[in-house]
């Protein structure tokens, strides 16, 4: 039996300012730091085996702050897969290697690309384009923002990565943490819970709140651990 924990990053500076963020790399606010640490306290006793995050600093910060509250005594280590970083980050102590918690950073888990909305204020876009149009850009399955990704587009990178990289680890009874974003996680939850396209606009993920699933016999079930 494996455990999957999904957590949307804590509040970022642009969440606070009500700006569309997308792929712009924005750090956490003080509140976001507190949210990540609170999530870590709720998961302190979970012995994680592998961590996955997007390439974006707000997700990486959230993962590291969350793990700082963990009681396992493992040290999170960002795993580099190629080049000089792979070669020069080799750990030569077998004992120390067993004490590490691998953290894999991958762009497939990034927030969806908000295109020409990035950096713009959400309320100002409502005033310019109307509430229904902005709601479609933000929450619908197939409607992309101008020159950006729809949730459908996002799912076409997140779901294959989830199936190819993460589910095999769950099948080996690993405990997995994914620290990512509202839309990349919405696409994964849509897959896990078999949510219909017409129902996905109703799925809203708060910042810094873990969502837990038990994985057993190739099926997911919601877990109340957090």
Q: Is 191 annotated as a binding residue?
A: no
How far apart are alpha carbons 145 and 151 in whole angstroms?
10
Q: Is 58 annotated as a binding residue?
A: yes
Catalytic residue positions, numbered: 9, 111
How far apart are alpha carbons 197 and 194 in whole angstroms?
9
Q: Is 186 annotated as a binding residue?
A: no
Q: Is 13 annotated as a binding residue?
A: yes
The residues, any chain, with a CB within 8 Å of residue 170's CB and separated by 6 or more, are: 2, 4, 176, 215
Q: Is 15 annotated as a binding residue?
A: yes
Residues pairing with 213 in the sheet: 4, 222
144-161 burial string, b = 16+ CB within 10 Å, else e?
bbeebbbbbbbbebbeeb
Q: Is 8 annotated as a binding residue?
A: yes
Q: Is 130 annotated as a binding residue?
A: no
**Dihedral angle at the C-alpha atoms of 142, 158, 1, 38, nearest 10 degrees?**
-90
Q: Is 113 annotated as a binding residue?
A: yes
**Dihedral angle at the C-alpha atoms of 168, 85, 61, 213, nearest 10 degrees?**
0
Q: Is 2 annotated as a binding residue?
A: no
- Summarize the annotated binding site as residue ranges: 8-15, 21-22, 58, 111-114, 122, 138-139, 182-183
Binding-site residues for substrate sit at 8-15, 21-22, 58, 111-114, 122, 138-139, 182-183
């Amino acid at each position: 039996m494996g455990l999957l924990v999904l957590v949307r990053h804590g509040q970022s500076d642009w969440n606070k300012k009500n700006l569309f963020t997308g792929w712009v790399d924005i750090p956490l606010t003080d509140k976001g730091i507190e949210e990540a640490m609170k999530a870590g306290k709720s998961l302190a006793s979970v012995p994680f085996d592998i961590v996955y995050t997007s390439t974006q600093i707000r997700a990486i910060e959230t993962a590291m702050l969350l793990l700082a509250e963990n009681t396992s005594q493992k040290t999170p280590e960002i795993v580099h897969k190629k080049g000089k970083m792979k070669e020069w980050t080799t750990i030569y102590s077998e004992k120390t290697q067993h004490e590490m918690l691998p953290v894999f950073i991958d762009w497939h888990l990034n927030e969806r690309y908000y295109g020409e909305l990035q950096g713009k204020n959400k309320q100002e876009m409502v005033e310019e384009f109307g509430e229904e149009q902005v709601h479609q850009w933000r929450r619908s399955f197939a409607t992309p923002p101008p020159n950006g990704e729809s949730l459908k587009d996002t799912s076409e990178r997140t779901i294959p990565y989830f199936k190819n990289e993460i589910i095999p680890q769950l099948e080996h009874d690993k405990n997995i943490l994914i620290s990512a974003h509202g839309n990349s996680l919405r696409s994964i939850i849509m897959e896990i819970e078999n949510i219909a396209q017409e129902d996905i606009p109703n799925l809203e993920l708060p910042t810094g709140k873990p969502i837990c699933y038990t994985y057993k016999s190739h099926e997911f079930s919601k877990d109340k651990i957090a």
